[in-house]
Structure 1
Amino acid sequence: MKNKVFFFLIVFFFILDIHAQCAMCRAVLESQEGQGTAKGINDGIVYLMSIPYIVLAGLGFSIYRKYFYSKNKA
């Protein structure tokens, strides 16, 4: 059951089309001719936003693993 929930969450987050621009950035970038700059800015914002979540997930997993390995060995 845990594997199904985990798989669903991973697939769900990779399928989403995320738009992370603030209202001001979006208004300025949409007024320009090409949308390449807007897409680049949006991708950069999503990239910068994802790094802290990845670090926290890794830290949480390492704490979880250490807790259960020490519990099983004792």
Structure 2
Amino acid sequence: MKRGSAFLLTGIFMLINVAAMAQCSLCTKTAQQLGEGPAKGLNNGILMLALTPLVIIGFLAFRWWRSNREA
């Protein structure tokens, strides 16, 4: 039960923290030159690119956890 609650809580925190600033110093400088609208688009693009590997790693970790639990 505790593990299920931990996964649920982690998922909720990940959904709440969507407005994170995910820019390195070079991207921040470029975004400042572009203006506010394109800067938000750049930030969203960076977050979308970061999401794919995190989902894949999470899926693999879940499969590994499930296979070790059943064995």
TM over 0.5: yes
Task: Look up the equivalent residue of 2:28 and give its one-letter code.
Answer: R
Name the Cα RMSD after superposition: 1.7
Identical positions, percent: 28
Q: Give the equivalent residue in structure 2 for 1:44.
A: 45
Q: Which has the larger radius of gyration?
A: 1
TM-score by length of 2: 0.76
Please list the CA deviations of residues 3-62 of structure 1 after superposition, one character each: whole Å capped at 9, or x if unmatched.
3322222111211221111112212222334x2211111111111111111111111111
Gaps of 5+ in 1: none
Q: How many residues align?
A: 69
Change (3 A) 1:67 1:54: same
- Paired residue for 2:31, among 29, 32, 36? 29
Specify the SS of the correspondent of 2:20.
coil
Which structure is higher in helix share? 2
